[in-house]
A and B are shown apart, each in its own frame.
Chain A
Amino acid sequence: MLEIKNYSKSYGEGKKAADNVNITVESGDIYGFIGHNGAGKSTTIRAVVGVLDFEEGEIFIDGHSVKKEPMECKRVTAYIPDNPDLYENLTGIQYLNFVADVFDIDEAERAQRIKKYGEAFEITSALGDQISSYSHGMKQKVAIISALIHEPKLMVLDEPFVGLDPKSTFTLKEIMRDMCNHGAAVFFSTHVLDVAEKLCNKVAIIKQGRIIASGTMEELTEGHSLEETFLEADQ
C-alpha cells in the first residue's frame, strides 16, 4: 500500500532531515513510526502525503508515484497532521462538507458517515458551531472525521492521539483496527510507546533522519517491551 524507497530530504547546506528512508506498509498493517522530536518523522510523513517536495528516492501509494501521479495517490490517502490548521471561521459541518465535496462523496453516503463518526467521537451536536470555538481535541476529531469521510485505503496520521480524550482515543484505535481488517493500511507517528506496542503490527524507529530499526513488533522487541527496545536502539 505504501512504499518508501531510499527517500532523503535535505534542508539547505546538505543537512539531511531524512536520510535514505525505506519503509513498506502493506494492506492490513498498522505501522507505527517512532523517534525523538526532530528525528524526521513529520518530514517523512509530509512527503508521503504530497505536501513536502523531496529530491531523492521514491514514494509509492497503491502502486502510484507520489512525485509523478500525486492526484491518484491523494485520492486514496487521508492525512491528519499533528496540529490541524482547519478553516476556523467555517462550522464543523461546513468543513466536512468541503472535504466531502473535494472527494466527490454523494450526499447520502457523506450524511451516513458524518453521522456515524460524529456520534462515535461525540461531536455531532457541535458541528454547527464555528471551528474557532473548538478545543484542540474537537478540532482533532473534525480532522479525523474529514479523513475518514472518503474511506481511504491509506491513513497517515502525525501524532493522532495528542489532545484526544480517553474515549475518543479508544474509538480512533478501534477505527484504525477496523480499517485494517477491511484491507486498508494505517501509518502513524507517535511518542506514546504503550499505544504503539498494543496497536501496531509493524514499527520503524527513526533517529537523526535514518531508520535504525524496523520490522514486525515481534521481530523488533524479541520479548522486551517496545520502550526498552526503543531506548536500546537509541543508544
Chain B
Amino acid sequence: MKNALILLKTLLLSTSRRNIIKYSTDKKKKKRARGGQVGVAVIFVMIMAYSIVACVGYGRYGMAASIPALCAVLLSGLAFFFTFFSTNGYLFNFKEYDMLMSLPIEDSMVAACKFMYMYIKSLPWYLSISLSMLIGYAIFAHPGILICVLWVILSLILPIIPMLAASFLGFLVARVSAGFKKTNIIQTVLTMVFVILCFFSRFFVEALFENGKAQATLTNASEATERFTGVYLPAGWFAEAVTKGSISSTLLLTGVTILLFALVFRFVGRSYRNINSALKNHAAAKSYKMSAVKKKSLLWTIAYKEFKRLTGSTPYMVNGAMGEILALVLGVATLVVGFDRIVAMVTDNAPFDPGILTPAIPFIIYFFIGMMATTTCSPSLEGKNYWILQSMPIEKKTIWQGKMLFNLCLTVPVSVVSTLCMCISAKVSPVDTLLFVILGIALCFFSTTWGCVCGVKHMRLDWENEVEVIKQGAGVTIYLLPNMFVVMGLTVLVVILGMKVSVELMTLLFILIASVLAAVSYLWVLSLAKSENAPKKMK
C-alpha cells in the first residue's frame, strides 16, 4: 500500500505543470506550462458557465428536481468515454512500463495506481461540472447544507464506476487483441466498433422504449434523463441521495464503488503483465525479400509517413479516423434507409419537411469529418523523432504541407462519397449535388489548414504519452472549440437561409467563405514555417 501511494504521488508529480515551472531550465517550456495553466483555467470557466446556464434553463422551466439526475448522467457519460479512450496508453502499453514493472510493486497495484492517476487527473473536470450544477440546483431548490456536502462527496465517488467499466472494457479489448499477431490492428478495430455501436445505440434504445409504448415519456430531455437513472443505477443512487438525503443510496453508491474497484483490479492484475507483454512486444518476421522499391515525391513521402503513423497507433487511429468512419456509415445508412427516415429517427419524428435540411448536407457530413484533423496533433506526434525530419534537407513548410496532404487524402474522398450518398438519397438536383460536394471539399481544406495552424502553433514534443497530444493537446482543443461552434451555427444558418434564399447562391457563398478561410489558414501555416513560432530544436 505504501508503495502504491509513492507510485501514485510520483505519477502525478511527473506530469504536473507546477514541476515544470519550478524546475525546468527551458524558458520556452516554462512559458508553455504557464500558458497551459491559463488555457485550462479558461476552459474551466467556460465549462462552469455552461453548466450553470444549463441548470438555470432547467430551473426556469420548473425542472430543477431533474438537475441531480442530469449531473449524474453527464458525469457518468463523460467519465466513461474519456477513460475508455485513455485506457490504451495510460493503463496498458505505456512508455515507462519496463522501468515500473522491474520495481517491487505488485502488478495489480501498478494497474490500480495507473487508474487512480487517471481518476485524479480528470477529477477537476468532473468537479467543475458537478459543483457548477450544484450552484444551479441551489438557486432553485434551496437544498440544506448537508445535501450540499453530500453532493460534493458523492461527486468524488460517482465517476469511479463508469471509469472502472471503461477500464474493464479497455482491458477486454486489450486482452482479446493480445491473443492475435496484429495486436494493434485488432485493438483499433475493436475500439472503433465499440464507439460506432455506442454512437448508433441511441436509435436501438429509442426503439426499445417505443416497443414498451413509453414514447410519451421521452418527450423531453428531463424525463429521458430521469429514465436513464432507472437503467443506470449509480446515477439514480446519486440523484436520490442528494434530493432525499437517502443514507441507503449513499452507502450503496460508496459500497458498490469500493467493491467494484477491488474486483476489477484483482481481475486485471492477474493478466496485466501478460497483456502488456503481448502489446509491447512483436515478433520480427524476418521474411522480407529485397525487391523493387518505388520512389515517391517528397510531399507524398511525408504523407505516407503520416499514414503509417496513424495506422500504427490505436489512440491516433481511433481519434483521427473515427469522424471519417462515422460520416461514411451515416452516408451509406442514408442511402440504404432513406434520407427522410434518418431525419425522422434523429429528430424523433418532429413535424417538419426533411427537405429543409438538404442545404445542410455538407455541414452534417463535415460535423463528423471536422471533429478532428490529423494536422492538429501530427506535428506534436513527431515527439522525440522530430530530429529525423529536422536533420534532413526538408523545409519546414514542406513538412507541414505533407501532413496537410495526408489529412486531405483522409477527408476529401470520405466527404465526397458521403455527400453523394446523402444527396442521392435526398433526391437533390445534380447542380446542387455538385455544389454540395465542392462545399464539402472546401470545408475539408479549411479543417486541414486550420488544424495545421493549431498543430504547429501549439506543437509539443516532450510528451510522455501520445494520448496527451492526441486527446488533450492544446492544438486539438483550440481547433475543436471554434470549429464545432462555427459548424453548428452554420448548419442552423443554412437551414434558415435555405428557406428564404436560393440554395445555389447560398452554397456558392459558403464555398467562397470556406475557401477564403482555408487560404488564410494555409498562408498562416506558411508564415509559421518561416517564423520563430515553429520550434527549431528540441531538448
Contacts and interface: CB of A to CB of B under 8 A. Distances in A.
B43 interface: no
A51 B102 contact: yes
Nearest to B97: A51
A25 interface: no
Contacts of A75: 104
Contacts of B23: 91, 128-130
Contacts, number: 110
Contacts of A70: 107
A71 interface: yes
Nearest to A208: B286
A79 to B, nearest CB: 4
Contacts of A46: 98
Nearest to B272: A53
Given A38-B284, A85-B98, A90 B104 contact: no
A86 interface: yes
Contact of B20 (A71, A77, A103, A130): A130
Nearest to B18: A89
Interface string B1-23: 01100110010011110011001
B283 A74 contact: no
Contact of A85 (B2, B95, B274): B95
A170 interface: no
Interface stretch (A7-15, A26-34, A114-122, A187-195): A7-15
Nearest to B99: A85
A13 B98 contact: no
Interface stretch (A94-102, A160-168, A171-179, A215-223): A94-102
Interface string B313-345: 000000000000000000000000000000000
Nearest to A78: B102
Given A87-B10, A102-B7, A12 B284 contact: no
Contacts of A94: 10, 13, 19
B277 interface: yes
B92 to A, nearest CB: 13
A129 B464 CA distance: 17
Contacts of A74: 102-104
Given A98-B6, A133-B26, A12 B98 contact: no
A64 B492 CA distance: 69
Contacts of A128: 23
Interface in B238-280: 273-274, 277-278
B25 interface: yes
A89 B95 contact: no
Contact of B277 (A49, A53, A129): A53
A128 B22 CA distance: 10
Contacts of B180: 12
Interface string A3-24: 0000000111101010000000
| Chain B interface residue number, banded | 35 or more
A5 to B, nearest CB: 19
Interface string B224-249: 00000000000000000000000000
A145 to B, nearest CB: 14
Nearest to A90: B14
A98 B98 contact: no
Given A46-B98, A81-B98, A98-B6, A87 B464 contact: yes
B270 to A, nearest CB: 11
B282 interface: yes
Given A17-B283, A81-B98, A98 B277 contact: no
Contacts of A52: 273, 277, 281
A139 to B, nearest CB: 11
A46 B277 CA distance: 10
A38 B282 CA distance: 11
A130 B6 contact: no
Chain A CB within 10 Å — which of B3, B26, B103, B107 has the most?
B103
Interface string B55-82: 0000000000000000000000000000
A119 to B, nearest CB: 21
Given A11-B281, A53-B278, A89-B13, 13 more contacts: A12-B283, A13-B181, A51-B97, A81-B98, A91-B19, A94-B10, A94-B19, A98-B10, A101-B3, A102-B103, A103-B104, A104-B2, A130-B23
The 3 A-B pairs with the shortest beta carbon distances in the complex, nearest first, are A11-B283, A87-B14, A74-B104
18 contacts: A13-B181, A15-B283, A17-B283, A38-B284, A52-B273, A53-B273, A85-B99, A87-B14, A87-B464, A88-B464, A89-B19, A94-B19, A103-B104, A129-B23, A130-B24, A130-B25, A133-B24, A133-B25
